[in-house]
């Protein structure tokens, strides 16, 4: 087993180090995502998704999602990472092989009083505190929350926007009067029509 890496005088497990490398820096959000992915995959008894074996639904677009991509193998490109813009620290993991799912909600993290430390040290102390947490203490866990899994990723036909001339997926075409246009062109076309 490789030795843990040290960043900013904090010793990190190898898989968290990979998350930090992907994200670009160590922050509380990456650590929360690391704990969520680790716990979610453990509860599903699943390994990293090479294709679409695992599905993740995230309800925020925070730093945590980068760690989830690294550890679960769920990405937008593979179609097994789904984003619901609800602004909640909620992460749902599901397994296609047995249709099991687990929803993790991070209500808040009780941080120790840090006023005794200079402002320059508080961030590092927060990160250290979150790293040291047992993931089961960070999240409210609900099991088998999905009654139906999202469909597998599909490849769609392309078509051309009749306003700007750019190619787009046929599933995103907007009908405006007698023309097929893309979403960004719809408003402009409607003004001119």
Which domain covers residue 97, as residue numbers? 5-143
- What's the total number of domains in the chain? 2
Q: How far is CA 95 from the centre of its chain?
A: 16
pLDDT at 1: 42
Same domain, 133 and 38: yes
Residue 122 lies in a domain: yes
Mean pLDDT of 72-77: 94
pLDDT at 185: 79
Phi, psi for 130 (deg, rounded to 5): -70, -40
pLDDT tens digits, 24-53: 999 999 999 999 999 999 999 999 999 889
161 pLDDT more than 90: no
Same domain, 35 and 62: yes
DSSP assignment of 44-97 equals HT----SSSSEEEEES--STHHHHHHHHH---TTTT-EEE------EEEEEETT
Residue 127 lies in a domain: yes
The CATH number that applies at residue 100 is 3.30.1330.130
With vertex at residue 65, the alpha carbon angle to CA 63 and CA 71, rounded to the nearest 5 degrees, is 120
Same domain, 137 and 172: no
**How far is the C-alpha of 186 from the C-alpha of 180, rounded, in Å?**
9
Kindly state the DSSP code that residue 164 receives in the 8-state scheme: T
Residue 153 lies in a domain: no
Residue 19 lies in a domain: yes
Mean pLDDT of 145-171: 78
């Amino acid at each position: 087993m490789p030795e843990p890496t040290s960043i900013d005088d904090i010793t990190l497990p190898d898989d968290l180090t990979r998350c930090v490398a992907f994200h670009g820096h160590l922050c509380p959000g990456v650590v929360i995502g690391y704990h969520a992915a680790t716990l979610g995959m453990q509860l599903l008894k699943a390994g990293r998704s090479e294709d679409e074996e695992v599905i993740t639904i995230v309800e925020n677009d925070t730093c945590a999602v980068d760690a989830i991509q690294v550890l679960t193998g769920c990405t937008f490109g593979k179609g097994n990472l789904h984003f619901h813009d609800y602004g909640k620290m909620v992460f749902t993991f599901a397994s296609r092989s047995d249709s099991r799912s687990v929803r993790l909600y991070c209500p808040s993290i009780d941080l120790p009083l840090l006023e005794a430390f200079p402002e320059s040290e508080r961030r590092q102390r927060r990160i250290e505190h979150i790293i040291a947490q047992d993931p089961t203490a960070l999240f409210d866990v609900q099991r088998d929350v999905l009654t139906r899994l999202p469909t597998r990723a599909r490849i769609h036909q392309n078509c051309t926007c009749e306003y700007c001339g750019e190619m787009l997926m046929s599933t995103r075409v907007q009908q405006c009067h007698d023309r097929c246009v893309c979403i960004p062109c719809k408003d402009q076309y409607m003004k001119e029509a």
